[in-house]
Amino acid sequence: MNNTTDSDNNWAELVSGLIAGWEWLERLLAALWNGLGWPHSALIMFCVLICLFKDEIRNVIPRIRKFGTDGFEMESPPQAQQATNEGELQEPPVGDFPHVFGVVFEAVTREIEGKDMAEAKQFLVRDSAGWRVLCFFENIYSNIFGGQIQLLQLLNQRGLAGMPTAEAEREWSAYKERFTPALDDWEMDGFLAFLIGKELIIKSEDRIAITFTGHEFLIWMTKYGRSTNRPW
């Protein structure tokens, strides 16, 4: 019985405190508005709101994609990335783009005209492999985070020696703090899983290093003008 009474008293005190705080804020805003006039009062209120919600605003600004008279568009919070290569070498979607496929098909047919079977096979295999490499890197780039690109660049500078896991953990903590609260639920292993699954890095018990694939992915980014400025 006493516990119930104490609980009711605590709730009553909490509600009274909230009401008193709200009334104080109302009186403060009214005093500012009446005493300083709307331009100065609005500026002060704006500064107060910026101070109160600075962390939320800091998290929103990097996600803004476009700003205009109709408002602004924002990037969605980071989602789990596909860490495996499964399904990337499927048959081409011929039915989705029949016209362009027909044009390219005729161009390839003309290129192998006059070649014997062995030459045509070598040409087609090399051509297919080359395009699949580009598609592979495009797929990675469409899903990779900005922080993962920065990690690849840092590992690329270290060369074969790589980076101690302890240092990688410190880099991860700083990166996660930068994008809090969006990355609060992420862990470093999940962040690295995409890079490991795409064979861009290798991870042992005490070190992380870039692979030849990771090095060539950075070369591809530079050659084809891909920006390192990616979300997260």
Q: State pLDDT tens for residues 83-94.
A: 555 445 556 666
For the residues 107-120, what does the mean pLDDT come to? 90
The rounded distance, in Å, linking the Cα atoms of 116 and 121 is 9
Average of per-residue pLDDT across 19-31: 73
Specify the pLDDT at position 126. Answer: 92
Which position has the higher pLDDT, 135 or 7? 135
Tell me which DSSP letter residue 184 carries: T
Question: Please, are residues 200 and 213 in contact by the beta-carbon 8 Å criterion?
Answer: yes
189 against 51, higher pLDDT: 189
pTM (global) more than 0.85? no
Q: Which residue has the higher pLDDT, 65 or 169?
A: 169
> What value does the mean pLDDT take over residues 43-50?
65
> What is the mean predicted confidence (pLDDT) over 52-57?
58
Residue 97 corresponds to which tokens in the numbers above?
Answer: 């783009």
Cβ proximity of 179 and 170 under 8 Å: no
Tokens 């509600």 sit at which residue?
A: 15
- Predicted pLDDT of residue 16: 74
Dihedral angle over CA of 169, 173, 174, 175, nearest 10 = 90
Q: Which of 89-93, 127-131, 197-201 has the lowest mean pLDDT?
A: 89-93
Residue 5 makes CB contacts below 8 A (sequence gap 6+) with: none
pLDDT band at 232 (very low <50, low <70, confident <90, very high): confident
| Domain ranges across the chain | 2-74, 94-140, 141-223
Alpha helix stretches (DSSP H) within 37-145? 38-52, 54-60, 98-112, 117-143
> Which residues 6+ apart lie within 8 Å of 21 measured at CB?
none
Given a cut of 60, whether residue 131 has pLDDT beyond it is: yes
Mean pLDDT lowest for which of 72-81, 108-117, 167-176? 72-81
CA atoms within 13 A on the CB side of 29: 13
User: In the block, which residue shows the tokens 């297919």?
Assistant: 128
